[in-house]
Chain A
Amino acid sequence: MPTWADQAKLNSTPIAWQWVCLGLIFLVSLIIPWIVSPLWIRIVTEIFMWAGLAQSWNIIGGYTGYLSFGHGAFFGMGAYVTGIAMMNLEWPFGVGLLFSGILAALLAAVIGYPTLRLRGAYFAIATWAFGEMIRQIATILDVTGGAFGMQLPPFLNLSFFYYVMLGITGLTYLTTYLLLERSRFGYKLLAIREHEEAAEMVGVDTVTIKIKAFALSAFFPGVFGGIYAYWVTYIHPDSVLGAQITDFMVVMVFLGGVGSLWGPFLGAFVVQLINRYLWLVWGEGTFYLIIIGAAICAVVLFIPNGIIGLLEKRIFSPRGALSQLRKLIKW
């Protein structure tokens, strides 16, 4: 479980300063729209969104140990559902969002039902194929505008979307903290991840718990998709259902620290900054894919517990860094 908190209990040092830090960061983020330029508001909004998306992937990928390689489909679905709700059904934004999230969760439960009974490899394959299929569906249907995409009612208020993203991301992290770090549900998930057979033997209904976790992990991307759609006003299959969405989620979680509470946030922060920087320097291109792929491979090979893992090993103290280096070179 969270080693920072547990080690803290063991050493009985006060962890109040962690909460203070968090509080400060939260307060600062509340006033950001008043103090920075529109460009930076956009950048920070996007970081929040990705931090939330990465954490949702982390729920099923990191905490439960089942890799959803088509997770971007829930994001895209949410975008389209909110779009259709607002344009064709003329529902208000909030209702559209809720509907997006719930629909995504339901679909996840349907997909999860046969696949989560089997080994992780099946789940990875099935979710990947699911993602591909959803993209194709969006390209064929008329109601989604097909390959041309769809337009949403314009609403250009950067601050509004900033606060909505902040709020939903905060909700994602709060939910993860309450449900996954502190509750029976979280303990059961961790037990499933560490030794599923043994968990089953002590009475944990592994399949039902996994389906619930998957549904939860799909709810938030659905909502984020809806917000994103309204924010950028125009969506099409490649922008909201492209494979790169899942790719980003995966690299952010693994780079940050898979299975940890703050890893995804860290990973989202680092990856988004690097991505924006590359975009500035090299323009729109496909090179970022090479970097994402290489980063994933490097993390798996060398730092499987991500940046958070490095921090936990106290790599920034000289002794810690030296011992880590020695372990690494032993390969």
Chain B
Amino acid sequence: MLLQSHELTISFGGLTAVDRLSLAVEKGSVLGIIGPNGSGKTTFFNLVTGAYAPDSGKVIFEGKDITGLRPHRIAQLGIGRTFQIPAPFSKMTVLQNVMVGTFIHASTMKAAKEKAWEILERVRLDEKANHQVVNVTLEDRKRLELARALATEPTLLLLDEAMAGLTPVEVKAAVELIQSLHTRGLTIIVVEHVMDVILSLCHRVVVLNYGRKIAEDTPDRIVNNQEVIKAYLGERYSARN
């Protein structure tokens, strides 16, 4: 198991955002996390990457307890993450954005630049390398998010709604890119709303509702799971069916 969470819990004010969540991700697999809005998916990512410290519970990565570590330490240990709404560094170029990510492992500026170029080529952003980030399209910004996360040489990649806002053509390209990353050995957790993407990418799917895990199974079985349908579409729909 590459990543495990044990009874992870966090509350904000009176609201329990993540409720005793336990799940595990096998090395080399792709896990999907789905659930209605507000079910705790992004909060879970924040807990794993160290942005929040849980009220109780543990996160274990590669056998080590990383609960409560600062985010930059966790990034250095090998967990990379993209944001739902891309968060590039505005006054820098695309290349410079990626270079910041390479600083963990590259020892000189020259090495950092070379590594950044290589990654940009892999995600096919190399033509826009010297563009200021503000001038770049949404799809490219999402690629940049990905490139920057890849620059840190992660073992585990967390993708938070990477497809949001993309056209069907762009989604197809993104799925291909993610698949290519997976074939190169990356373990990936994908949070998504687009079911086709989940079906085509993931080996296993975890369904969250109100911060709790309500189902965990292979994608095709999840789609037919009554609890899941109820959570997404409401009691009355599932009662009708």
Quick check: A206 and B90 within 8 Å, CB to CB? no
Question: Roughly how many angstroms separate A10 CA and B130 CA in the complex, as a whole number?
Answer: 8
Q: Which chain A residues numbered 140 to 199 have a C-beta less than 8 Å away from chain B?
A: 183-184, 187-188, 190-191, 193-195, 197-199
Give B96-127 as 1s and 0s: 1 = Cβ < 8 Å from A's Cβ atoms: 10011101100001001000000000000000
CB–CB A203/B87 < 8 A = no
Q: Give the docked Cα–Cα distance between A205 and B100 (Å).
A: 12
Roughly how many angstroms separate A193 CA and B70 CA in the complex, as a whole number? 18
Give the CA-CA distance A191 to B96 in the complex, in Å. Answer: 10
A199 and B72 alpha carbons, distance in the complex (Å)? 8
Residue among A9, A188, A194 with the most chain B CB within 10 A? A194
Q: A1-B96, A184-B109, A201-B71 are in contact. Are A194 and B103 (CB under 8 A)?
A: no
Any chain B CB within 8 A of the CB of A200? Answer: yes
Q: Which of A6, A10, A194, A202 has the most chain B CB within a 10 Å cutoff?
A: A202
Question: Are A1 and B91 in contact (CB-based, < 8 A)?
Answer: yes
Distance (whole angstroms) from the CB of B97 to the closest CB of chain A: 8
Residues of A within 8 A of B91 (CB): 1, 190, 193-194, 259
By Cβ-Cβ distance, the 4 closest A-B pairs, closest first, are: A203-B75, A194-B89, A203-B104, A198-B87
B residues lining the A interface (CB < 8 Å): 49, 51, 70-73, 75-76, 80-81, 83, 87-93, 96, 99-101, 103-104, 109, 112, 130, 132, 148-149, 151-152
Please report the C-alpha to C-alpha distance between residue A203 and residue B102 in the assembled complex, in whole angstroms. 9
Q: How far is the CA of A1 from the CA of B99 in the complex (A)?
A: 13
The verdict on A98 contacting chain B, using a C-beta distance below 8 Å, is no
CB–CB B99/A203 < 8 A: no
Q: CB-CB < 8 A to A187: which residues of B?
A: 92, 96, 99-100, 103
User: What are 26 pairs between A and B in contact, CB < 8 Å?
Assistant: A1-B92, A187-B92, A187-B96, A190-B89, A190-B92, A191-B89, A191-B92, A194-B88, A195-B87, A195-B90, A197-B51, A198-B88, A198-B89, A199-B89, A199-B100, A200-B51, A200-B72, A201-B81, A202-B100, A202-B149, A202-B151, A202-B152, A203-B76, A203-B101, A203-B152, A204-B103
Interface size on A, residues (CB 8 A): 25
CB closest residue in chain A, given B51: A197
- Once bound together, how far apart are the Cα atoms of A190 and B151, in whole Å? 18
Task: Among B51, B92, B151, find the residue whose CB has the most chain A CB atoms closer than 10 A.
Answer: B92
**A107 smallest CB distance to B (angstroms):** 25
Indicate if the CB atoms of A202 and B96 lie closer than 8 Å.
no
List the A residue with the shortest CB-CB distance to B83.
A198
Nearest-neighbour CB distance to chain B for A118, whole angstroms, equals 14
Q: Which residues of B contact A184 (CB under 8 A)?
A: 103, 109, 112
Please give me the residue from chain A that is nearest to B106 by CB atom: A184
**Residues of B with C-beta under 8 A to A199:** 89, 100
B70 and A200 within 8 A (CB): yes
Measured between beta carbons, the chain A residues less than 8 angstroms from B51 are 197, 200-201
